[in-house]
Amino acid sequence: MQTFTDQSNNVWTVQITVATIKRVQALVGVNLLDVLDSKSHLLEKLSTDPILLCDVLFAICQQQAESANVSDEQFGQALAGDVIDHATTALLQELADFFPAAKRTVLKKALAKLRQVEEKALEIASAQLDSPELQQQLEHLLQPAKT
């Protein structure tokens, strides 16, 4: 089981079972088993869409939320910033651990590759923002037009 702590200091346990997968399917319309289907792009969607992530996590943690009297809205309000990263990691690690060994290995490789791609994209974006060429283009755009 994986855990994450939200901005309200609530600790949430992410546990994936068949019952959990059925509940997420019923409440959110997302079949977590599709994470193995590269055509579904579910792995990428869960990593990049915080709204989808929040909905899926709330469905997974629904019983805990009910016990703690935390509404769906309160749950979402406590997911921001680094909490989103921690919650995403908890969900994807737990989801990988749900599967038998062979599929788990493939999914963990896919997770590692996704992290590499995300890190590279951030490096490229940062380098582009730091480039002198961008600075020159911005300065050029800010200069008054000559008549």
pLDDT in tens, 25-84: 999 999 999 988 878 889 889 988 999 999 999 999 999 999 999 999 999 999 999 999
Domain total of the chain = 1
Beta bridge partners of 14: 2
- Residue 134 within any structural domain of the chain: no
61: its two tokens: 């943690």
pLDDT tens readout for residues 107-130: 788 777 777 777 777 788 888 888
- Residue 12 within any structural domain of the chain: yes
Distance in angstroms (rounded) separating the CA atoms of residues 30 and 78: 22
- Residue 132 within any structural domain of the chain: no
- Residue 26 within any structural domain of the chain: yes
Distance in angstroms (rounded) separating the CA atoms of residues 96 and 108: 6
What amino acid occupies position 84?
I
Distance in angstroms (rounded) separating the CA atoms of residues 2 and 16: 9
Q: Which domain holds residue 58?
A: 2-113
- Residue 125 within any structural domain of the chain: no
Residue 147: pLDDT band with limits 50, 70, 90: low
- Residue 76 within any structural domain of the chain: yes
69: its two tokens: 């009297």
- Residue 27 within any structural domain of the chain: yes
Distance in angstroms (rounded) separating the CA atoms of residues 50 and 66: 21
DSSP string, 47-63: HH-HHHHHHHHHHHTHH
Looking at 15-100, list the stretches that DSSP marks H as alpha helix, in order from N- to C-terminal side: 18-28, 42-48, 50-60, 62-67, 72-77, 82-98
- Residue 137 within any structural domain of the chain: no
